[in-house]
Amino acid sequence: MRIGPYQLENNVILAPMAGVTDLPFRRLCVELGAGLAVSEMLSSNPLVWQTDKSRARMVHGDEPGIRSVQIAGSDPELMALAAQHNVAEGAQIIDINMGCPAKKVNKKLAGSALLQEPELVQRILRSVVAAVDVPVTLKIRTGWAPEHRNGVEIAKIAEQAGIQALAVHGRTRACMYKGSAEYDTIRAIKQAISIPVIANGDVTTPQKAHEVLHYTGADAVMVGRGAQGNPWIFREIVHFLQTGKEHAPPTGAEIAHVMRRHLHALHKFYGARGPRIARKHIGWYLQGNLQHIDSSEQFKRDFNAIEDPQQQLDALETYFVNLDER
């Protein structure tokens, strides 16, 4: 799959997730097979660009692979400025967020709330595309409510505005993350436009990725929550799509190695904030997709109370030693 001049290594992409897809996690997912990793959402409001959170999100210089940066907002001029600013900081692709259903984003008429305003969508897309000389992509939902699925209309506007790839989450804004994703709208969008379409929503296994690609005809799949605590999902999906066979699951030794590396990277990247950021990631590793790791609620409670980086590392080592002794 290509996005503008960029040829992706494969068609399995890490979705942008606020508070999750920071540089340490993007780097890890690319190393483990993601063909592209999109940054967490950045506000188009220049007044917040100098906050610690925004500055951390704008670090792209040491990025593995293609640097794709997502921006969010509702003012066409500010969105254009945000795109230019991030290109100057090293972004090679600008992704526009019109899919986030969070209330704090939607109340500013950003994210998926924009799907109710096709004319404003068109103005934003044209403004951003005209402002930068890198490819611009877009992420949307199927509509703003089940009775208002206008994804095909928005997709056509995007193609006409010069958007070079479109990611679609198979839920509406009103659905949030409830229920199951539906893929009929994504299929209809793929049939209606000629730019690459990326299917997103409930892709949590290699088999589901294959099923979604086959049903929708999409050019790629995008993995979001399925990658939390499970960065191995990318190599597993790529292997299954290429061979039809399941990839061997990660060994206990590899899981421990990746968790150590990830914890180190978070401490280094965030400094004093690192231990707090690390808590959710360690919690995800200990549950969900990694069923063969004994998820110790007591360990998670103890770990989440630790503020010191070295103490977190020591606690994790003790946990692994205790596992080995069982």
Of 38, 69, 71, 100, the active-site residue reads 100
Phi-psi region of 192 (alpha: psi -120 to 50; beta: other; left: phi over 0): alpha
CA count, 13 A, side-chain hemisphere, 129: 18
End-to-end CA distance of the chain: 46
Q: Is-contact 325 294, C-beta < 8 A?
A: no
- Of 55, 67, 77, whose CA–CA distance to 26 is shortest? 67
51 CB contacts (<8 Å, ≥6 apart)? none
Radius of gyration of the chain from its Cα atoms, rounded to whole angstroms: 20
Q: Copy the structure tokens of residue 203.
A: 């892709």
Q: Does the active-site annotation cover 100?
A: yes
Q: Is-contact 196 158, C-beta < 8 A?
A: no
In degrees, rounded to 5, the angle at the alpha carbon of residue 133 between the alpha carbons of residues 43 and 94 is: 30
CA count, 13 A, side-chain hemisphere, 75: 9
Active-site residue list: 100
